[in-house]
Chain A
Amino acid sequence: MLRVYAVLIFAFLYVPILTIIVFSFGESVYPTLPITDWTLEWYRTALTDSQLLEALTKSLIIAPLVGFISATVGLLAARELARREFRGKGLVLLVLLGPLLVPLIVFGLGLLLLFSSLDVPSSIWGAVIAHSVFGISLSTLILYSRLISFRESLMESAADLGAAPARAFFEVMLPLVFPAFAAAFLLSFTLSFDEFIVAWFVIGFDTTLPVEIWGRLRYGITPEINAIATVVLLVSLTLGVLGQKLASQRKDES
């Protein structure tokens, strides 16, 4: 009984995603069953659509930057939090949760008002900053839970044996926290690659891929969306799986 139920829930979670993928190969302009003819036409349309490609390029510039900024800042912040006990530490951890809890529309609007009152022209940097705020929160929490089990004495031993701080960091700490660092990078990347509302608010006329997809979805039937959506879904599924696997590795080793 329970087993059947679990299978149904898995189906519920995955059928909508699979639907898009299946229809991306269907010939009909309208996504209706049955699919009589199969085609790769929509992939060709999507791949020759310069507007879509431009949006994809922007997303591919923003997402790695966000991933890198988030994982690096997150590592430094998590290390301070993990090796020191201080008053108000609980509060700091709570504030870190803030960006992950705040309704996106609130944050997007606030950031837009901030940028416009400072006369910052809208550009991809707005999106990089906005997404990094979430990314840093997420990364710090991932890395913190990893670093809690990292023994600071290892760094001291390295120093005693004559390693410079930078060397100790790169040769002792980084290898040990690398899985969590990579997880933070990948998950922040994915977060940024898929995020829509905040990007929509702050980015002005430059569009990221989700913003471009949104624009097309609002104006009727555009079958090439299914093709680009399939690509996007596969990218985020892969990165999500990798990121989660790395993030949950901590208990098995060390």
Chain B
Amino acid sequence: MLVFFLIPVLILTVYSFWSVENFQVQRDFSFDNYTAIFTKPLLYKAFLLSLRVAFFSSFGAVLLAFPFAYFIAKKVVKYQSLALLAVIVPFWTSFILRAYAWRILLGPNGVINQGLEAAGLIEEPIGALLYSPTATGIGLLYVYLPLAILPIYSVLERLPDSLTEAAADLGASPFQVFREVVLPLSMPGVLVAGVFTFVFGIGEYVIPALLGGGKQLLYAEAIVLRINAQQDWPAAAAMAIVLMVLTFGMVALLGRRVRKMELF
């Protein structure tokens, strides 16, 4: 297994220093593929847009997830495991199909536009709902929401009620209890949720390709474009390596932060 995981990564690294001429891979050595990522407008724009979309969707996911996770962890007693199951199960269904569902919902004649029209809130369909970075953001938020709920749930579930009760007994208002007891103690879960939804969001291809409309490319779309349109494997490899380093780097940082926090 390690062979099939580590060797592809090594090969990518080797390829990323090669170049391409007339659709032929040249086995030379240069950093051009890497510098191109940060100097070619198409590429760095895609990179920045991916960062932005992933940031907003993961921020949104954590924000939506927190009260929900709190509810499941603290207020649901009898059906807690059932509720958790219901959160996880959508995660096991087809990614493509969950993204496709949003195409039905967000389209100009889609369910959401029709609903808003019927309610008299808008006069004509909002065209920008679908095929825009916003649509991609909604799609990402949707598919990764379970991933944000679970870690937050697991820290809240372990948070003893006696702590919040003690704070309340000592005269803290509910808001103070939340800000000074619940939030700091659930920070590891919040960080795990945020980082994971973020790093998965940056590398996502299916959702922007189905919902993003192709006018403003995201990073993963730019990688696929390099391969399909230009057969430029080395450039695609370099972009992939940058993505991977970013992903593992963030997860490693997260690991250190979280371990430190749990120490005390």
Contact = CB atoms under 8 A, between A and B. Distances in A.
Interface of A: 2-3, 5-6, 9-10, 12-17, 19-20, 23, 30-33, 73, 95, 98-99, 101-107, 109-111, 113-114, 117, 129-130, 132-133, 136-137, 187, 190-191, 194-197, 210, 213-214, 217-218, 225, 229, 232-233, 236-237, 239-241, 243-245, 248
Given A196-B95, A240-B88, A243-B92, A5 B109 contact: no
B94 A104 contact: no
A103 B7 CA distance: 15
A19 B93 CA distance: 14
Contacts, number: 195
A196 B92 contact: no
Given A19-B111, A109-B8, A110-B240, 14 more contacts: A5-B71, A19-B105, A95-B2, A102-B244, A109-B237, A113-B11, A113-B15, A113-B237, A194-B96, A225-B100, A229-B100, A233-B93, A233-B97, A236-B93
Given A99-B5, A105-B243, A136-B1, A114 B97 contact: no
A113 B234 CA distance: 10
Nearest to B255: A94
Interface string B150-183: 0000000000000000000000000000000000
A114 B244 contact: no
- Most chain A CB within a 10 A radius of its CB, from B1, B8, B241, B251: B1
Chain B CB within 10 Å — which of A17, A19, A102 has the most?
A102
A237 B247 CA distance: 29
A9 B148 CA distance: 13
Nearest to A187: B92
A101 B251 contact: yes
B131 interface: no
Nearest to B68: A9
B244 to A, nearest CB: 5
B142 interface: yes
Contacts of A194: 92-96
Contacts of B87: 13
A14 B241 CA distance: 35
B206 interface: yes
A73 B4 CA distance: 14
13 contacts: A3-B71, A5-B67, A6-B68, A13-B86, A19-B104, A20-B100, A103-B199, A105-B240, A110-B9, A113-B233, A233-B93, A240-B92, A244-B92
B90 interface: yes
B45 to A, nearest CB: 18
Given A103-B203, A104-B203, A240-B89, A2 B70 contact: yes
B193 interface: no
Contact of A105 (B5, B103, B110, B220): B220
Contacts of B64: 9, 12
B247 A103 contact: yes
Contacts of A245: 85
B227 A109 contact: yes
A58 B146 CA distance: 29
A99 B240 CA distance: 14
A101 B199 contact: yes
Nearest to A245: B85
Name the residue among B110, B111, B241 with the largest chain A CB count within 10 angstroms: B111
A214 to B, nearest CB: 6
A20 to B, nearest CB: 5
B109 A32 contact: yes
A213 B1 contact: no
